[in-house]
Each structure stands twice: as C-alpha cells, then as structure tokens.
Amino acid sequence: MDLNRPSRTKLLGTITAIYDVGCFFGAIAAFSLGEMLGRKKTILLGTTIMSIGAILQIAAYGVPQMIVGRIVAGIGNGLNTATAPVWQAETSKAAWRGKLVVIEMILNIAGFSMSNWVTYGFSFAGGPVSWRMPLVLQFIFIFVLFATTPWLPESPRWLIAHGRVEEAEKIIADLEAKTVDDPWVVTESKEIQWAADFERENGMSWTDLLKGRTGVGNTCTIRRLILGAGTQAMQQLAGINVTSYYLPTVLVESVKLENSMARLLAACNSVSYLLFSLIGIPNVERWGRRKMMMYAAAGQCFCYLMITILIRYSEILEESAATKVASASIAFFFLYYVFFGIGWQGVPWLYPTEINSLAYRTKGAAAGTAMNWICNFMVVEITPIGIQSLQWRFYIIWTIFNASFVPIVYLFYPETADRTLEDIDRLFRDDPHIFVFRDKDAISEKRPLKYVEHYENERRRNSSIISTNPEAMKQRLASMSKANEEGGWGHVEKV
C-alpha cells in the first residue's frame, strides 16, 4: 500500500482521517452504553473493540481492509476516550481532579511521542514490516488495560445515580482513607444524592432538549453541553492535528526538508511536547481553566502567524535565502506545541466532565468527545489537500481560529478549578448570566466563599448528628442497605 505518491494525497488523508470517524461513532455510542454499563465495563468493551480493529489493520493486504480496521479500532477508542475522563473526574478530589486528568493526557502525549520514535525507527526498514510492526506494539497497552481495569473502583457518582448508595459510600470512604460513618463521607454522599435527585426530578431527555424544552428546575443543560463540546471543538480547530498527524508532511512540503530529517524533527518535537506538557500538572488548579486556555490560545495564534509569514516569504525569495527563512519556521512549530501542551492538551478533556451535571456527565463528555473526533476528522482530511493547494495561505486559517478563542473563553466560560462537581451544579442553578466575565464567583480561580460555607455547615451538621445520635447513623445505613436490596430510591432515609 504505497500512499506516498502525490497522486494519492487525497486517499492518504481519507485513510488517516477515517479512524476519527470510528472514534466519533464510538463516542456517540458512549451516550447510552456509558450510563447503562458503568465506567469500568465501558472501558473494557472499548478495549475489546480496539483489539479487533488492531488485528484487522495488522493483517491488512489492501486499502478496504485497512479502512475497516481503522473504523473498528476508532469505535473502541471513541468509547474509551468518552469514558475515561469522566471516570477520572468522578473518583477524584476537587483539588486533584484537574491534575489527574492533565496527567492522563500527558500519558497520551507520551504514547504519541513513543509512536513518533517507533515510526521514525521503522521508516528505515523496508516492506510491510515498516508499518505492521508499529501496529502490533499497541497490544502492549491493550494488555495493560485488560489487566488493570477490573481492579479499579467504579465511579461512586454513577453508583449513587443507579441506587447503589451503600456501595458508593464504601468507595468514597476507601478513596479518602476514612470510615463509612465519617462526617466527610456522609456529607459527600448526601451532596451527590441531592444532585442526583434534583437532576432526576428536573433533568430533560434528549427528545425534550431537542424540542427546546427547559423543564421546571433550572439546570442549564443545553448551555452546559455546548460549553463542554465547545472546548473540544476549539482544541481541534486550534490546528494541533495539522502537525500531530502530518508534521513530517508539513516540513517536507512547506519547509522543504528531506523526509528523514522531517521524521527526526517530528520525533524530537514530540519529546519537547511531552516535557512542556508537564508544566500543566501543578498549574491547572493554580492558574485555572480559563487562564490556561486564553493564554495558550494567544501563544498559538502568535506561532501560526509567524509560521504563515515565514513560509510566505520563503516562497518569494531566492533559493538560498528561502531555505533559511523556511527553516526559521521550525522553531515556531516547536513553540506552538509548548503552548498547546500547557493549555489545550488536557483542559478540553477535563472541562466537559466538570461543567455537565451528574445526569448528563456521561452524555456531555460523550458529546464533547464526539465533537473532538468529528472536528479531528475534518482537519486531518483537509490538511494534505490544503497544504498542496493553498500553501502558505493554509496556515492563516489556524491563526484566525486561535485568535478567536481568547474572547470566546473570556466571555462565556465559567471557571471550574477548585470546586466540587456539586458546586458547579449550584452555580448553574443560580442561573448565571451567559456573559460570565462580570461574575466574580463564576470566574474566580479559588473556590467561592459561599460554597465553602455551605459545605462546612453541612459537614458540621452531619458531624453533630453522628456524635449525638450514633444509633440514627446505624439505622440510616441499615435503611440504605434495605433500599438497595429492594432496588428503589424512595426508601432511602434522609438524615
């Protein structure tokens, strides 16, 4: 399957991008499967489907089988990428939630870097082994997923939403190294139960949402879905996969490097990308989601602007000067990854899991992931043709997109750092204005005082109930156990 000839540019783009179509449908499937099966079983199902897709690709001897294999593998990956961030967010403390999802995405970059070096190494091998062997190596990570996922705890929020309160409280207690009757565990459980009850009474079905109904309670469901999916769309429209998928092609076509040097620089760039992404771990909570997205978008805009200018002038100068000018653009490709790795690699995957309500968290994350993959498909499909047809003008598109993200985030996106998921539910029940930049509580990087006071009052109240009447606590636990056996929520006794 020789796809490197200029006449096959469109086919190369389609085969590369068709994987994203599979990911899109996998994310759509997570809408229902994720809520029905739970987080663990959905991950295991997605990994199984990925295995089948990988085998089809490894054994491919023609374009049709390769396309089918990439679609099947994409469906499995779509299920996993729509579920893993939700599972991570729902089992994390507020102070660690952002860091852990960023670490998850950094491990993604580590895999990306590894794949670049594997591809570079096997590019010197001849024949089918140059592309079959890199596909075989993905089974190392598939085996790791199969070996570890069954031992991990299910999301306590998913368990509570499905009436399994006692099991959820045991997991909350284990995650926090506390006992089940600890005031902190009781308060956390009640907060989640309250949010689940509110959503159950006031949440809307997909049919109602599409018909424009809003319900009796104010949950701002559509707005929250749009905000979450919007971060994923912006991540792809920032132009990351112009270079992630095609950096060697970009360096060969636009900068006029040799193929071997282009692949080596792409591999080196992936290491730089990985290292600078580590900056996001300690700062995702300190700087907040808004600032990370705005500052990174501004930096990315600058990088694409310089790339556009340098490649434009390399096309009108004499050959010796043109080579030097075009080569200068390489520095801005590297710098672009620095800004993206810090601000836009992790936050768009984290934000939909935070901004959406409990009832729509799986659906919201799935919608965001589906948006990511369909935009990814668009970018990957048009990039080879765009570089070939538009040349330097192609990079103007991404310059403009990145410039637009700064005011969009500033005007419309509330801060989610240093807040519990239930704090965010309260923010939207208070019906904040669509332009959030004037609301200090909505954009503060620190948890607003009113949420802190509410939580402390609830914790003290639960603590006093337990200390003055421990028998009531025992009765409550027994009542929850009975309710779980009967399968109903209505039997759960309220403290």
The token pair at 492 is 């759960």
The H or E element that residue 17 is part of is helix 9-37
Give the pLDDT confidence of 452-492 residue by residue, as tens digits.
887 777 777 767 665 555 555 555 545 544 544 443 333 33
Mean pLDDT over the full length of the chain: 83
Rounded Cα–Cα distance for residues 170 and 193 (Å): 15
- Do the Cβ atoms of 94 and 191 come closer than 8 Å? no
Geometric angle at alpha carbon 330, from 326 and 333, rounded to 5°: 125
Give the pLDDT confidence of 390-410 residue by residue, as tens digits.
888 999 999 999 999 999 999
Geometric angle at alpha carbon 428, from 292 and 407, rounded to 5°: 35
Instruction: Say yes or no to pLDDT of 23 above 80.
Output: yes
488 burial type by CB count under 10 A (0-12 exposed, 13-18 middle, 19+ buried): exposed
- Do the Cβ atoms of 183 and 473 come closer than 8 Å? no
Query: At 194, is the secondary structure helix, strand, or coil?
Result: helix
More confidently predicted of 482 and 239: 239
Geometric angle at alpha carbon 434, from 430 and 437, rounded to 5°: 95
More confidently predicted of 194 and 460: 194
> What single-letter amino acid sits at 262?
A
Write the DSSP assignment of 157-208 as a string of letters: HHHHHTT-HHHHHHHHHHHHT--TT-HHHHHHHHHHHHHHHHHHHH---HHH
The token pair at 184 is 């902190």
What is the number of alpha carbons within 13 Å of residue 136 lying toward its C-beta?
A: 8
Instruction: Say yes or no to pLDDT of 281 above 80.
Output: yes
More confidently predicted of 491 and 109: 109
Residue with tokens 């994310």: 27
More confidently predicted of 369 and 139: 139
Task: Please report, to the nearest 10 degrees, the dihedral formed by the alpha carbons of residues 215, 220, 226, 229 taken in order.
Answer: -100
Predicted local confidence at residue 476, as pLDDT: 54
Q: Does the predicted model carry a pTM greater than 0.85?
A: no
Q: Which of 449, 450, 478, 460 is nearest to 184 (CA)?
A: 460
The token pair at 394 is 């192609």
Q: What mean pLDDT do residues 365-391 have?
A: 86
> What single-letter amino acid sits at 282?
P
Rounded Cα–Cα distance for residues 117 and 269 (Å): 10
Instruction: Say yes or no to pLDDT of 388 above 60.
Output: yes
Q: What are the angstrom distances between the C-alpha of 107 and each of 104, 169, 179, 320?
A: 5, 30, 33, 41
Instruction: Say yes or no to pLDDT of 210 above 70.
Output: no
495 burial type by CB count under 10 A (0-12 exposed, 13-18 middle, 19+ buried): middle
In terms of C-beta distances under 8 Å and separation of at least 24 residues, what long-range contacts does 107-116 make, across chains too?
108/345, 109/270, 109/273, 109/274, 109/277, 109/341, 109/345, 110/274, 111/141, 112/244, 112/270, 112/273, 112/274, 113/267, 113/270, 113/271, 113/273, 113/274, 116/266, 116/267, 116/269, 116/270
Residues in the chain: 495
Predicted local confidence at residue 218, as pLDDT: 61
What is the number of alpha carbons within 13 Å of residue 420 lying toward its C-beta?
A: 16
Query: At 107, is the secondary structure helix, strand, or coil?
Result: helix
Instruction: Say yes or no to pLDDT of 212 above 60.
Output: no
Neighbours of 158 (CB within 10 A): 24
Query: At 380, is the secondary structure helix, strand, or coil?
Result: helix
Counting residues of the chain whose pLDDT is more than 70, the rounded percentage is 86
More confidently predicted of 483 and 495: 483
Q: What are the angstrom distances between the C-alpha of 170 and each of 146, 162, 175, 181, 296?
A: 24, 15, 9, 10, 40
